């Protein structure tokens, strides 16, 4: 469905839900382009809420199993986290700056709220005693450093284990269901929470049902937004973005796009150009085949 169509049919509130990104320290610009694409998507769709579902960073250098803590590498993980959040805002901020320079304040757009749910990878920072802070360490260390970074960039921080509720619809980084079977897990989420969305496992599935009072219920696991080379499709991982339209009184209309669909439409880097070139070639071949017959 065309994004503009989603806006036109949405009398309720809207949200763009951004699943696990797992940005790595030192990640290539080719894959970081996915963050800029999300920012352009936000400007295009103009959701009321931008919801980042956690695991923005990989935080490989503060993992529990590392016996030796390297403060310099850990600090680079924190900087990569900050840069990822800045890239998510980049096109929104650039467009607003342009409108203000041109004295078109009526065109300035900002989501009503940017939410960031702490993921288990962000929680790694708080679990390491070495990140508590102390003399001789670089920068302003502390277990709340990532929260401070997020809030300084305009995000509302939701600690791991707490839920975000908007219009009676729940959001969490993960939700324990006691089963790995997708259909059973979604049914359990529905019975516990009514309309509810989670990520963490990088799988994708939606369950739509009706409550006894006639309300429409939607529960979903919304995958991840990792580049193709990091997405394990053989394990059921799915990479994409989900938009929620007409959010009101526990109901909504979800629509999802795959990673390639988002990058082809909004990306600016090499991979996005490859997708667009491939589509153009396919269209040309189909046109030539049709003309031949």
> Which residue in 259, 276, 253, 271 sits closest to 41, CA to CA?
259
Q: What is d(CA 12, CA 249) in angstroms, rounded to the nearest whole number? A: 9
- Residue 136 scores a pLDDT above 50: no
Does residue 293 form part of some domain? Answer: no
The set of residues, in sequence order, having a beta carbon less than 8 Å from that of 276 and lying 6+ positions away, is 264
Q: Which domain holds residue 29?
A: 3-268
- Residue 135 scores a pLDDT above 50: no
Does residue 275 form part of some domain? Answer: no
What single string gives the DSSP state of each residue in 27-80?
--HHHHHHHHHHHHHHHHH--SEEEE-S--B--GGG-TT-SS--HHHHHHHHHH
pLDDT score at 141 = 80
Name the residue with higher pLDDT: 134 or 67: 67
- Residue 22 scores a pLDDT above 70: yes
Asked if residues 185 and 221 have their Cβ atoms less than 8 Å apart, the reply is: yes
Does residue 289 form part of some domain? Answer: no
How confident is the model over 271-284, as pLDDT tens digits?
A: 999 999 998 776 55
Mean pLDDT for 166-172 is 94
pLDDT score at 209 = 78
Q: What is d(CA 54, CA 17) in angstroms, rounded to the nearest whole number? A: 11
Name the residue with higher pLDDT: 251 or 180: 251
pLDDT score at 140 = 59
pLDDT score at 101 = 92
Asked if residues 251 and 17 have their Cβ atoms less than 8 Å apart, the reply is: no
Number of domains into which the chain is organized: 1
- Residue 163 scores a pLDDT above 50: yes
Does residue 22 form part of some domain? Answer: yes
Does residue 116 form part of some domain? Answer: yes
Q: Name the percent of the chain lying above pLDDT 90.
A: 68
pLDDT score at 232 = 97
Does residue 207 form part of some domain? Answer: yes
CATH number at residue 127: 3.60.21
pLDDT score at 188 = 61
Confidence band, pLDDT 50/70/90 cuts, at residue 193: low
Name the residue with higher pLDDT: 185 or 59: 59
How confident is the model over 23-73, as pLDDT tens digits?
A: 999 999 999 999 999 999 999 999 999 999 999 999 999 998 998 989 899
Does residue 172 form part of some domain? Answer: yes
Does residue 113 form part of some domain? Answer: yes
Q: What is d(CA 120, CA 55) in angstroms, rounded to the nearest whole number? A: 7
- Residue 204 scores a pLDDT above 90: yes
pLDDT score at 175 = 75
How confident is the model over 213-236, as pLDDT tens digits?
A: 767 788 899 999 999 999 999 999
Q: What is d(CA 16, CA 47) in angstroms, rounded to the nearest whole number? A: 6
pLDDT score at 5 = 60
- Residue 196 scores a pLDDT above 50: yes
Mean pLDDT for 137-144 is 69
Determine which of 101-105, 213-217, 245-249 has the lowest per-residue pLDDT on average.
213-217
Q: What is d(CA 210, CA 127) in angstroms, rounded to the nearest whole number? A: 41
């Amino acid at each position: 469905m065309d994004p503009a169509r989603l806006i036109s049919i949405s009398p309720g509130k809207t949200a763009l839900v951004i699943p696990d990104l797992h940005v790595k320290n030192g990640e290539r610009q080719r894959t970081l382009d996915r963050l800029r694409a999300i920012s352009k998507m936000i400007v295009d769709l103009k959701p009321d809420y931008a919801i980042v579902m956690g695991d923005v960073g990989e935080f490989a250098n503060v993992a529990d199993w590392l016996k030796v803590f390297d403060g310099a590498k850990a600090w680079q993980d924190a900087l990569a986290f900050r840069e990822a959040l800045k890239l998510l805002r980049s096109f929104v901020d650039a467009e607003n700056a342009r409108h203000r320079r041109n004295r078109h304040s009526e065109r300035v757009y900002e989501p009503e709220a940017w939410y960031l749910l702490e993921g288990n990878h962000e929680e790694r920072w708080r679990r390491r005693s070495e990140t508590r802070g102390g003399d001789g360490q670089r920068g302003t260390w502390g277990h709340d450093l990532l929260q401070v970074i997020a809030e300084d960039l305009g995000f509302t921080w939701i600690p791991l284990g707490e839920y975000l509720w908007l219009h009676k619809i729940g959001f969490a980084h993960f939700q324990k269901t006691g089963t790995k079977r997708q259909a059973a897990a979604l049914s359990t989420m529905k019975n516990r929470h009514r309309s509810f969305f989670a990520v963490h496992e990088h799988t994708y599935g939606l369950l739509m049902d009706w409550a006894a009072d006639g309300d429409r219920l939607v529960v979903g696991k919304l995958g991840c937004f990792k580049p193709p080379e990091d997405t394990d499709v053989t394990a059921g991982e799915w990479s994409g973005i989900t938009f929620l339209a007409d959010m009101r009184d526990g109901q909504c209309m979800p629509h999802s796009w795959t990673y390639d669909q988002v990058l082809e439409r909004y990306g600016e880097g090499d991979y996005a150009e490859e997708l667009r070139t491939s589509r153009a070639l396919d269209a040309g071949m189909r046109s030539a085949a049709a003309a031949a017959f």
